[in-house]
Structure 1
Amino acid sequence: MKNLKDKVAVVFAASGDIAGAVARSFSQHGAKVYVTARNPEAIKALTQEIKANGGNVEAAKVDALNETEIDTFLKKVVADNGKLDVVFNGIGASYSEMGGRPPTTMATFGQFMAPIEKICGSQFLTSRIAAKHMIQTQSGGTILLLTAALSRSKLSNVAGITAASAAIEGLTRVMAAEWGGDGIKVICICPGALMETKRISGWIEAAAQQYGMPVEQLVAQYKAFDILKTSPTLKQVGETAAFLASETGQAFNSHVVDVDCGKLNIL
């Protein structure tokens, strides 16, 4: 079913596994998709794959933390298509990028603020710039943000990323309230731990080596709270994003949508 036929969609930070899955689903559901990354080579394979499957896709170099680059790019998208229907920002950060996982008493102010600036800051920039263009064209649209279940978990040594995740969810509700009158939906997607992603699999392997534990034991700890005893897939995350951006997803707005098959330890 082509839920997004004739829609124009932009995926920022498309070099990531989640953003790539979302871009594929958008294309499969009929959208014209623009995929962006700081390094165009990082999305070359994704672009070729979408084209090979008959999708309409264009790639561009855009830093999702650079306001000027974001605005210039979205202006071009609107100029070429007369509208902007869907925006998804898949930016993420590994623990190593954020200075590891120091205890909160030992973390520097810079280490605490780094994920807030990168993760929440990027979502703020892409969302508000996209909204301005959607308002100007009076075409409405859907803005999809990405968060992590850390926002509602109780884990030690992740103060910055946890605060950033919670901030993105709060930002979603504020923006939905502000832009709803212009026909703009704002929704936050919260996937569970996706074993397919390089970030999760890499962290599990590194932690297993660090603590001298079998990989299987760490995976079992991740899955211990699964209600259905199964885990979400990248394809399911992409399909959820496509549904939320479609007309049938109209009932969802301002929500944080968990894509985790149900977790006992997440509120």
Structure 2
Amino acid sequence: MFSLKNKTALITGGASGIGLAISQTFAQAGATVHILEINAEQAQQVAADIKAGGGQAEAHAVDVSDQAQVTDVISQIAAQGPIHILVNNAGVAHIGRADTTSEADFDRIFRINIKGVYNCLRATIPHLKKNGGGVVLNMASVAATLGISDRFAYSMSKGAVLSMTLSVAKDYLTDNIRCNCISPGRVHTPFVDGFIAKNYPGQEAEMFAKLSKTQPIGRMAKPEEVAALALYLCSEEAGFVTGCDYPIDGGFTRLNS
């Protein structure tokens, strides 16, 4: 079950955090993984590691906010053979309220988290249609549907990702394209460790424990757990699933009170 053998998957932000786990998991499931990543060196290293482990992967230096760049790279990949899966994972975080978020920060969140998803959808969907269908999986967040303090611009961007997911699922039903999104709660990635170290020096252990306990289950998710859900949603076993948002949040959405 959950085989991606003979499938080609594009994964944005696929060289770190959740994206890295998805790249590794999809490669293990038999997919040829194309890592679209702004950090070219990191992407090349991940692709090399996957190949060393017997998988198939290629690295591509891409800024998802640059439409021409995205279109060019995805066209090059499509020229090699059919594309079956697009995972829109690339994104950045931001802390701030409406009156403390600068225009520059707001624009940056919009360019990467919203326009970046649109750019990849626009470039990939014609190829999926041409090939008779495929799967799109977007990375949203619990912030898309819940009020979370000091996450104004980030929440805005993930709400847009959720809405784009529903639109794509509806618009391309007859093209055999499924589209879903995942909404993680807190996930233990290097970003989290860096955020804590930067903002709470000397209190790292205390703050990690505090943030972990905001999930009713009592810990943060592992990137591999999110990747396992991504694998299911992009596999043939999820062939009847489209237009859905999947929280993976340790009970954060429904069990917090």
The answer to whether the superposition gives a TM-score over 0.5 is yes
SS state at 2:34 partner = strand
For each residue in 1:46-94, what CA deviation from the matched residue of structure 2 results, as whole angstroms up to 9, or x when unmatched? Answer: 111101110011222222122222222222222211x110011221214
Structure 1 gaps of 5+ residues are 96-100
Aligned equivalent of 1:135: 129
Contact 2:71 2:119 in 1 (8 A): no
Aligned equivalent of 1:36: 36
d(CA) in 2 for partners of 1:2, 1:53: 19
SS state at 2:252 partner = coil
Displacement, 1:10? 1.1
Contact 1:146 1:190 in 2 (8 A): yes
In the alignment, which of 160, 177, 195 is matched to residue 184 of structure 1? 177
Aligned residues: 256
Superposition map of 1:87-126 within 5 A: 87-95=86-94, 101-126=95-120
Displacement, 1:34? 1.2
Structure 2 gaps of 5+ residues are none
SS state at 2:15 partner = coil
Contact 1:142 1:186 in 2 (8 A): yes
Aligned equivalent of 1:14: 14
Contact 1:152 1:266 in 2 (8 A): no
Displacement, 1:200? 1.1
Asked whether 1:261 is paired with 2:250, we answer yes
Asked whether 1:169 is paired with 2:162, we answer yes
d(CA) in 2 for partners of 1:205, 1:24: 27
For each residue in 1:154-181, what CA deviation from the matched residue of structure 2 results, as whole angstroms up to 9, or x when unmatched? Answer: 3333211111111111111011100111
Aligned equivalent of 1:216: 205
Displacement, 1:2? 5.7
SS state at 2:217 partner = coil
SS state at 2:150 partner = coil
> Percent identical across equivalent pairs?
21
Aligned equivalent of 2:27: 27
For each residue in 1:68-121, what CA deviation from the matched residue of structure 2 results, as whole angstroms up to 9, or x when unmatched? Answer: 22222222222211x1100112212143xxxxx344224334433431222111
**How large is the RMSD of aligned CA atoms in angstroms?**
2.1
d(CA) in 1 for partners of 2:180, 2:100: 34
Aligned equivalent of 1:205: 197
- Alpha carbons of structure 1 residues 224 and 2: separation in structure 2 relative to 1, 3 Å: closer
Contact 1:153 1:265 in 2 (8 A): no
Displacement, 1:149? 1.8
d(CA) in 1 for partners of 2:59, 2:149: 39
Asked whether 1:62 is paired with 2:42, we answer no
For each residue in 1:211-230, what CA deviation from the matched residue of structure 2 results, as whole angstroms up to 9, or x when unmatched? Answer: x7x33332233233433334
Asked whether 1:194 is paired with 2:187, we answer yes
SS state at 2:181 partner = strand
